[in-house]
Structure 1
Amino acid sequence: MAEIDQSRHLGDAFPGPRAQALADRRDASVPRGVSAVMPTFAHRAGGGIVEDVDGNRLIDFASGIAVTTVGASEPRVAEAVRAQVEEFTHSCFMVTPYEHYLEVAERLAELVPVPGPAKTALFNSGAEAVENAVKVARAHTGRQAVAAFDHAYHGRTTLTMGLTAKTMPYKHGFGPFASELYRVPGSYPLHDGLDGAQAAARTIDQLDKQIGAQNLAAVVMEPIQGEGGFIVPAPGFLPEIVRWCRDNGVLFIADEVQTGFARTGDWFASEHEGIEPDIVTTAKGIAGGLPLSAVTGRAEVMDAPHAGGLGGTYGGNPIACAAALAALDTIVEEGLLERAAQVEKIATDHLSRVREQDPRIAEVRGRGAMLAIELTDPATGEPDAPLTARVAQQAREAGVITLTCGTWGNVIRLLPPLSIGDDLLREGLQIITDALRRS
């Protein structure tokens, strides 16, 4: 494939005629529940650009929701996929196993920060990984209750919808949900005003009084909460929660689906917090765009389910495993941990200067290439979702793929691929902040 020009370009009409025709076909053939942020259709992508079907080139600040961290057409990944397709596309690891599955499990055992020897089971999606982590935790502890946090997002399946906090658009009208799922307050420094120790004490009090440690199989939390608003907990919060779990025989599950694989400037966000989870769930950035997820945990924990108790027809598909191995190599060989830190510095330097002049920016936060701008009404301190929507829409119309998030819909999130160039990164940031000034 010819390299894509790494510059933003919009034609006379955006969306263009081919995109509009495809939108008509989508309306006729795809349920309205499957909605899209951008008004166009992708044709190819690479570096920091997504080119649409009409030749418009858009700056990518989404990475397919933190999936194409190494790039949307990374050459190592593409070559690994081509080579595996020529060998075989599927055999089902539960029927006729293959080596790539083992290689991915071995690599994850080396990388994931769980204490002691680790084992991995592979699946297809983040929600599937979280659901299977809960199964493993219940099998190991013999307990049923699972605690999640305010502002959490863990997926769209029946069980993971129960763990997810936000009702619209994820849960509304889809209940009832699975039982023995509980929600407790976490740490949101901008809004709760608590330091890590204070927030942890509040959480532990709820765990003790409302659930009881003797009933609790696992606590599951994103080390940086994603859909809830890219919330970074106060220092010390997560280590104290993990300590309480260890003291009480409760497993701590780190949901690293969005934060894993160099996104936050380290392999996993848990490492920033100095914690060692019992189980880590991963997906998104693991395989350079192919569907793959993993549950990696302490060997004795992962061995708790009976033979045949874990699996799935497509789990650890050989093509996705080949892509994952290539993506992991790319992170190392291209220095993408360091690149994430560079993205963070460029973005936070720019946004901090803007924040000094604009009191509507309540906070700029995040790590690596997982950053957020939270917008509020400076007069009241209340979340400003309408302003956030206007800024995001104007940025999209100017050719920047922009996502929002947050329990109150007032957070603009930045998830560029680590293959983006500095000039494109700065241009995209300027377009977003120009949109904010106009709004």
Structure 2
Amino acid sequence: MASLPYPKEPRELPKIETAHRRIQSPIPHPDSLSLLKDLEHFEARSMQGQPPIIWHKAERFNVEDPYGNRWIDLSSGVLVANAGHGREEVRAAMEEELAQGLHHCYCFPHQARADLARKLIEITPDYLDKVFLLTTGSEATECAIKLARTHGVSKGGDKKKRIVTFNNAFHGRTLGAQLAGGIPSLKEWIHQPDPTFVQVPFPDGYANTQVAFEDFIGSLEGRDITADDVAGVMLETYQGATGSFAPVPFMEALRAWCDENEIVLILDEVQAGFGRCGKWFGFMHYGIEPDIICCGKGISSGMPLSAVIGRQSLMDQFGPGEMTSTHSGNPVCCRAALASVQLIESEGLVGNSEC
């Protein structure tokens, strides 16, 4: 998932002026070069992978630089701005919370967290009845792994702790998330991968034409892995790296197999969730019931927030104070998320994205 650095010499481009696009200067703009050089000098090289355009302000699907150029942001800020950039309703909700001086409150009770938790339970199926708020998608997937493994060991002893994921999967940038991921180049730095994380071919019907559930079982048996060894199976609703979905019959069979063997089924909704797929969550297209879903990105249309939503029996495995995070349920981010979800509802954006 590496990208090449973009040249930083200003280039003259054809002038563009449409309802939503404007190019009226060289790119990068000559006046932006000092800022670009500062970023290159002071930041890690990994931050140099985007076009040399200064993001200055944004509204709905438009992003503008300080020099009068305007673009349509087809990235949604890397799949984040589900209700649009800079929505007035989201900003007003944040400003109201900021005015209280409550910029942070750790895990102490506050109204914004309660309101958001209630709303998230409202838009998910009834059996998903507990929420744990975090900051990033990687935190959410790592938490789901922790919950699945804890459940597995409680049901099957130390043997039942393997986490099965899929080739080409992406579940985040942190150690556990990358151990679960299925892109080998992203894991080279680990050197000694944890053998309790196992990847199998993803049944996309293209790169892998073996889409029967029996092929999944065969992949595990080929590594001497049985259901008694598996604590959880985690997959993206659609693979973000390839845009691939699993067949519905495969997902139905996977759900049944997990039910039969006390295995936690985790759906990573960090990219797919909050209306991006024509339903509130992508897993709803499969007609199955995951035990845990991991949410992030579009949950707040721009603020750092993520969520793990799951069955009470899984979410309540840890006692008070045993599973927390410094910025869990940040009040300003919670207000942004609640306002964003309400906008997605009131403007019918879920149906608007249906294909």
TM-score by length of 1: 0.72
Question: Is residue 148 of structure 1 aligned with residue 159 of structure 2?
Answer: no
Query: Which residue number corresponds to residue 359 of structure 1?
Result: none
Q: Secondary structure at the match of 2:238?
A: coil
1:182 to 184, 198, 211: 198
1:103 counterpart letter in structure 2: D
Q: Does 1:131 align with 2:134?
A: no
How far does residue 208 in structure 1 lie from its aligned partner after superposition?
4.6
What is the CA distance between 1:308 and its match in structure 2?
Answer: 2.1
Alignment of structure 1 residues 204-223 onto 2, 5 Å: 204-208=217-221, 210=223, 211-223=225-237
Q: AA paired with 1:281?
A: C
Letter in 2 for 1:276: E
RMSD of aligned C-alpha atoms?
1.7
Range moving further from structure 2, 325-334 or 298-307? 298-307
SS in 2 for 1:218: strand
**Cα distance change, pair 117–174 in 1 and its aligned pair in 2 (3 A):** closer
Matched, 1:330 2:343: yes
Q: Which runs of 4 or more aligned residues in structure 1 lie more than 4 Å from their structure 2 counterparts after TM superposition?
A: none
Q: Is the partner of 2:145 in helix, strand or coil?
A: helix
- Conserved? CA contact 1:6–1:48, under 8 Å: no
SS at match of 1:189: coil
What SS does structure 2 have at the residue aligned with 1:88?
coil
After TM superposition, give the deviation of residue 92 of structure 1 in Å: 3.0
The alignment status of 1:12 with 2:25, answered yes or no, reads yes
Q: 1:208 to 1:104 in 2, by over 3 A?
A: farther
- The counterpart of 1:191, out of the listed 204, 207, 218, is 207
Task: Provide the secondary structure at the position in 2 that maps to 1:260.
Answer: coil
* Percent identity over paired residues: 32
Determine the C-alpha separation between the residues in 2 that align with 1:37 and 1:136: 35
8 A Cα contact 1:159 1:177, kept in partner = no
Q: Is the 1:154–1:163 contact (alpha carbons within 8 Å) kept by the matching residues of 2?
A: yes
Alignment of 1:107 with 2:124, yes or no, is no
2:197 is equivalent to residue 172 of structure 1: no
Change in CA separation of 1:8 and 1:191 when aligned onto 2, cut-off 3 Å: same
Alignment check: 8 A CA contact 2:128 2:292 kept: no
Give the distance between the partners of 2:191 and 2:74, measured in 1 at CA. Answer: 33
User: Which of 223, 234, 251 is 1:238 aligned to?
Assistant: 251
Q: What are the residue-to-residue correspondences of 1:245-394 with 2, within 5 Å?
A: 245-341=258-354, 344=355
Distance 1:110 1:212 in 2: 37
Which secondary structure does the structure 2 equivalent of 1:12 belong to? coil
1:68 matched to 2:81? The reply is: yes
2:24 partner amino acid? G
Equivalent residues, number: 331
Post-superposition shift, 1:262?
Answer: 0.3
Q: Does residue 118 of structure 1 match 2:134?
A: no
Shift of 1:146: 0.5
Measure, in 2, the Cα distance between the counterparts of 1:250 and 1:287: 30
Q: Secondary structure at the match of 1:202?
A: helix
Question: 1:155 Cα deviation (Å)?
Answer: 0.6
Gaps of 5+ in 1: 345-439
Alpha-carbon distance in structure 1 between the residues aligned to 2:195 and 2:105: 31
Q: CA deviation at 1:167?
A: 3.3
Q: CA deviation at 1:49?
A: 1.2
| Residue 58 of structure 2 corresponds to residue 58 of structure 1 | no
For residue 156 of structure 2, what is the aligned residue in structure 1? none
Q: 1:166 Cα deviation (Å)? A: 1.6
Query: What is the deviation of 1:88?
Result: 2.9
CA separation in 1, counterparts of 2:80 and 2:205?
27
Q: 1:34-93, CA deviations, whole angstroms, 9 ceiling, x for partnerless residues? A: 233222110011122110132211121101111001111111111101111111333434
Q: How much has 1:180 moved relative to structure 2?
A: 1.3
Partners of 1:30 and 1:239 in 2: CA distance = 46
Give 1:6 shift. Answer: 4.8
Q: Equivalents in 2 of 1:269, 1:91: separation in Å?
A: 31
TM-score relative to the length of structure 2? 0.88
